[in-house]
Amino acid sequence: MGRGGKDTAQTAGNRGSGVDARKLIWGYILLLTLACAGAVIIVGVIMKMAASPRFAGDFTVFWAAAKAPIADVYNWSALERSQVDAIGKVGPFAYPPTTLLLLKPFGLLPFPMALGSWVVISSILFLAAARTLIGWRELALAILSPAIVIAVATGQTSLIVGALILGGLTAPGAVMRGAMIGIAAAIKPQMVFLFPVAFIAARDWRALGSAFAAGALAVGATLLLWGVQPWFDWLASLPQFTEVLRQTGIGIRSVTPASLAMQAGLETPVMLVGLVLGAVLVWKVFRTSLEPLDRVAALCLGGLLGLPYALSYDMTALIVAITPMLLNRSGTIISWAGAGMIFSTTLSQVGVVLASIDIFRRHWKAKMREAP
């Protein structure tokens, strides 16, 4: 009796120590994540904006493309010449012609009014979509992530695309789900290019058809408005944009695993392996789970595994999905570390891999428990 009581007491004490140790590790990772996120915001946003004479640098490109004649949109020199007096030097416009359908109305406004409207509208849409998935506590933390702060500060399309991804994976109607994902693909196709795998795995045939229909309508609208030439101009401009990425080092600052192999010239094989693994992850999650946050995370992570590059602001929808993982005290070290790296955009390439492993592992274990 006494021996059993002693063993029981020791077991309880060990169990209590284990819980305390996990809480300590979780707290350390959370604090480190917030510290890294704060450092990224201070160094990468505030100091950069203070040193730059222009705010919302990416939106200047969008506004310039929206105002320019369609023949000049993918001609970098012509685009810069046409807008240099209004907003100064601009970069290349690398988005497909379907993105111009979204941007053209803002080109009708003066730059300050266009920028203000863009930031307000995109922020409201994103916050509304995110709030349907996470609570106020998670949302308050998520909007402090560098990815979302940078998306706002640069005037990126990522908030609108993120809102469409979040809404498209949670909308009650199949037609609406597909339409929103299809529109997201028309604006920034690389962020949702695995959506056919997702909808096929989920056997969501109406959503799949709706997504392709929305994309076809967007392409058709560009053909009616501007003809086929802008599509050829866009395709011809992509090698120049790729070279700009290499020269400026933007590709190396990417958040994708393939970017880690760029210096060694191995980005292509790493990207191809990541593409296969990303498709497997998306298939597994959409086949076995209805959990919306896991589906958002899987679609975003799967895409990042297979992309040659993406920047921190491209992870806005993913931030909404991983913030609850970061705050979940009953998670694992892998899930906390992966979420922390993604949230803070510090070693995000590694975080994408860790978070993908964690989600796949959880769904694999759940499937095994269901097996007879």
> Among 110-119, 225-234, 249-258, whose mean pLDDT is lowest?
249-258
Reported confidence tier of residue 9, pLDDT bands at 50, 70, 90? very low
Could you state, in order of their start, the residue ranges of all structural domains in the chain? 23-370
Distance CA 12, CA 27 (A): 22
Summarised one tens digit per residue, pLDDT across range 165-196 is 999 999 889 999 999 999 999 999 888 999 99
Task: Examine the pLDDT at 1 and tell me if it is beyond 50.
Answer: no
Mean pLDDT over all residues of the chain?
A: 85
Percent of the chain whose predicted confidence (pLDDT) is above 90: 56
Summarised one tens digit per residue, pLDDT across range 264-295 is 778 888 899 999 999 999 999 999 888 999 99
Summarised one tens digit per residue, pLDDT across range 349-363 is 999 999 999 999 888
